[in-house]
Chains A and B, each alone.
Chain A
Amino acid sequence: MSLAVRVIPCLDVDAGRVVKGVNFVDLRDAGDPVEMARVYDVEGADELTFLDITASSDARATTFEVVSETAEQVFIPLTVGGGVRSVDDVDRLLRAGADKVGVNTAALQRPELIAEIAQRFGNQVLVLSVDARRAADQPSGFEVTTHGGRTSAGRDAIAWVRTATELGIGEVLLNSMDADGTRDGFDLEMIRAARAVTHVPLIASGGAGTPAHFCEAVDAGADALLAASVFHFGVLTIGQVKDALRAAGHVVR
């Protein structure tokens, strides 16, 4: 036996509410992150990820409440990303009940933040979130973006994964901005390129549309698979994805 491939649903949370169209029929309140987390737990999610897209800092207090409530009711690992800028932000989220914290823009602007977080809490809490897209002018052919893929960070995505690994991250969440929302499959070349430069676990994200897509991503080197809309809209269930992975010879929980 060996370690199971993880299947991770991702919820976008704005001021304490799930946004980006969730379409579950048997939910009392499809906008309630706690309720959604409970449903995904029952369906066999191996972890949960909350992406906090709350714009105003006033409303971010609700994020901590949502994390707390979720951690009190759902007993699988919870990662929270979005707007994490400092060691104090990480401390607050961990105290609220998060197990891992996703860091993106702040680490690009100030890479020493990675080492600061790793020294204080251990590298296992730190997920480097990389929003990447194809860019012919970068050596690897992939660049890092910020602001939800709208802005180029002017930086090679694969080189960034390598650098961040050396600085002490615990995991990489690699999100293809080109594939995101297409349901045409993960960017397998990007996964292979990142796999080649990092020894930490790799979560592939962006483009999932069919169970076969998840299998391809594992074959390309992903240790875990993250998806949002296909699960939220009921296009696929976590069970279907795991059945497909199992049939393809991968170990699942």
Chain B
Amino acid sequence: MGADVVVLDYGSGNLRSAVRAMERAGADVTLTADFDTALEAKGLVVPGVGAFAACMQGLRAVRGDRVIGRRLAGGRPVLGICVGMQILFETGIEHGVTTDGCGEWPGTVERIEADIVPHMGWNTVEVPTGSTLFDGIEDERFYFVHSYGVRHWELDDTHPSMPARVTWTSYGGDRFVAAAENGPLSATQFHPEKSGDAGAALLRNWVTSLS
């Protein structure tokens, strides 16, 4: 038996790949929106595709924002993926409309400034020292597909008791957060479940850190 992990099921999209990728990484996976099950799991994965506002609406409908908050208060690990990372920030701005996120991290999700958007495909990342997620896979490429990103990491990352480790990526002259690790809260802008062996290694690193 591996660590038990819940993939939060809110709204539509491709969740099958996330479930299978977590299983491949050694987790016992449950796909559910049940509050208590999500609260109790050793690890919680928050996927997410589509628009920030629609995702927040879906998340709130299953009280996902509360589950995330309560888990973090108890030091229990949460991993956000793609829009599941974006909604952890304070606000999202899409088509001029500002939407409140979960606010676990300060910062704004805004449109990428590049000639060709979405940022779609395999890109490299700049990994800080001490990263758990990227241990042994610092030089790999990961699969991104998004039009919005976090340009400025606003959390005071000099705080010695709870250091944030922020991984960046560059595209078309812009630069944004590719991943962040901050105590029990981790997140990736790219899709580890779609990033082949490198993505599998990252998920294994996270699952291993749960036990």
Contacts A4-B122, A122-B49, A224-B121 given; does A97 touch B12 at CB 8 Å = no
Interface size on B, residues (CB 8 A): 41
On chain A, which size bracket covers the interface?
Answer: 35 or more
A–B pairs, 15, beta carbons within 8 Å = A2-B123, A6-B122, A76-B194, A94-B13, A119-B51, A122-B50, A124-B120, A124-B146, A124-B147, A125-B50, A199-B117, A200-B118, A201-B121, A223-B120, A223-B121
State whether the Cβ of A3 lies closer than 8 Å to any Cβ in chain B: yes
Kindly report which residue of chain B lies nearest to residue A100, judged by CB atoms: B145
> For chain B, what secondary structure do more than half of its interface residues adopt (helix, strand, loop), or is it mixed?
mixed
Binds B, one of A29-37, A67-75, A183-191: A67-75
Contacts A71-B17, A75-B199, A95-B12 given; does A125 touch B115 at CB 8 Å = no
State whether the Cβ of A10 lies closer than 8 Å to any Cβ in chain B: no
Binary CB contact string for chain B from 64 to 101 against chain A (1 if under 8 A, 0 otherwise): 00000000000000000001000000000000000000
A242–B116 CA distance with the chains assembled, in angstroms: 22
Q: Which residues of B contact A4 (CB under 8 A)?
A: 121-123, 141
State whether the Cβ of A246 lies closer than 8 Å to any Cβ in chain B: no
CB-based A-B contact count at 8 angstroms? 114
Q: Which residues of B contact A71 (CB under 8 A)?
A: 14, 16-17, 20
Chain B interfacial positions (CB closer than 8 Å to A): 12-17, 20-21, 24, 49-51, 54, 83, 115-124, 141, 143-147, 170-172, 191, 193-197, 199-200
- Do A91 and B118 have beta carbons less than 8 Å apart? no
Q: Which residues of B contact A46 (CB under 8 A)?
A: 121-122
A220–B101 CA distance with the chains assembled, in angstroms: 40
Binary CB contact string for chain A from 172 to 184 against chain B (1 if under 8 A, 0 otherwise): 0000000000000
A121–B51 CA distance with the chains assembled, in angstroms: 7
CB-contact partner of B171 in A2, A77, A91, under 8 A: A2
